[in-house]
């Protein structure tokens, strides 16, 4: 009998980058990679990392290097955790607010 242990992902790691996102710990990166069902090398290929990208994924897991928000967001989507980048800023942009107007001219 095999018992699988799942590492919880902190809520702060599932926020949009501009809404208080906190970088995941290595165990959280490892858990999300596990949930994708892919190897580290396959994850690296999907993310467009170099041919030695599997090494980069290992560095994220061991916390020798920080994972970027964009890589984390793509991994979360691949793992079925949702599109974490879809926050208030994006929703305002989709609701017709003129993105080109300076901040002080935006309607309230």
Residue pointed to by tokens 């949702």: 82
Quote the number of domains for the chain: 1
* Residue 34 is assigned to a structural domain of this protein: yes
The 10s digit of each residue's pLDDT in 36-67 is 999 999 999 999 998 778 899 999 999 999 99
Range of the domain at 25: 11-86
Q: Which residues contact 75 (CB under 8 A, 6 or more apart)?
A: 29, 32, 33, 36, 43, 47, 67
For 13, the token pair is: 């790691």
Between CA 5 and CA 32 the distance in angstroms is 13
Higher pLDDT, 89 or 22: 22
Establish if 20 belongs to a structural domain: yes
More confident residue, 106 or 71: 71
pLDDT score at 53: 81
**85 CB burial (10 A radius; 0-12, 13-18, 19+):** buried
């Amino acid at each position: 009998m095999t018992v699988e242990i799942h590492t919880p992902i902190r809520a702060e790691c599932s926020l949009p980058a501009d809404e208080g996102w906190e970088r995941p710990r290595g165990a959280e990166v490892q858990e999300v990679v596990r949930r994708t069902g892919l190897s580290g090398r396959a994850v690296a290929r999907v993310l467009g990392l170099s041919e030695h990208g599997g090494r980069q994924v290992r560095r994220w897991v061991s916390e020798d290097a920080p994972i970027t928000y964009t890589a984390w967001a793509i991994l979360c989507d691949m793992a079925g955790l949702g599109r974490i980048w879809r926050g208030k800023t994006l929703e305002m942009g989709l609701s017709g607010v003129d993105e080109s107007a300076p901040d002080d001219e935006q309607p309230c």
